[in-house]
């Protein structure tokens, strides 16, 4: 089981859909794809859509935190949606929900970003 990264630009928002397993082995690919899309894509904000993410460990927390900092440096926002119970627990334990708003699905996540922008 590896990891697929799907990127979609919608207006000024980059939607990142992760499918599979996010660990140390797959974290670098996520880092580089998102880094480049944020730098070159012209999007202000990012939605991390995790419906298909079956497994994540602290390497995933690291790469998400890294992109959050990258966005914050240019006044962008990051929100997450469709989080499964296992991933939710890791977010909760690490305190990531204090900085990343969570939504039930992509539609609600998009709505929240259009309100803030």
Question: What is the binding site for another protein (CB under 8 A)?
Answer: 1, 21, 23-25, 27, 31, 55, 57-59, 61-63, 65-66, 85-86, 90, 93-94
* Cβ pair 104, 70 in contact under 8 A: no
CB 26 within 8 A of CB 37: no
Provide the minimum distance between the beta carbon of 26 and another protein in the complex, in angstroms, as a whole number.
9
Tell me whether residue 90 or residue 108 sits nearer to another protein (CB atom): 90
Between strands 45-49 and 3-10, the pairing is: unpaired
Instruction: Output 3 or 79, the one with its CB closest to another protein.
Output: 3
Q: How far is the CB of 112 from another protein (least distance, A)?
A: 25
Q: Which is nearer to another protein, 52 or 66 (CB)?
A: 66
Least distance in angstroms from the C-beta of 45 to another protein = 20
Rounded Cα distance, 25 and 106, in Å: 27
> Backbone phi, then psi, for 95, in 5-degree steps?
80, 10
113 with 77: CB under 8 angstroms? Answer: yes
């Amino acid at each position: 089981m590896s990891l697929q990264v799907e990127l979609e630009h919608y207006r000024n928002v980059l939607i990142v859909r992760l499918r599979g397993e996010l660990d140390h082995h797959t974290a670098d690919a996520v880092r580089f794809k998102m880094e480049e899309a944020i730098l070159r894509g012209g999007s202000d904000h990012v939605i991390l859509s995790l419906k298909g993410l079956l497994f994540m460990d602290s390497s995933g927390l690291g790469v998400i935190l890294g992109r959050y900092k990258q966005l914050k440096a240019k006044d962008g926002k990051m929100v997450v949606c469709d989080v499964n119970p296992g991933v939710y627990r890791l977010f909760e334990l690490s305190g990531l929900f204090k900085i990343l708003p969570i939504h039930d699905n992509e539609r609600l996540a998009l709505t929240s970003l259009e309100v803030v922008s």
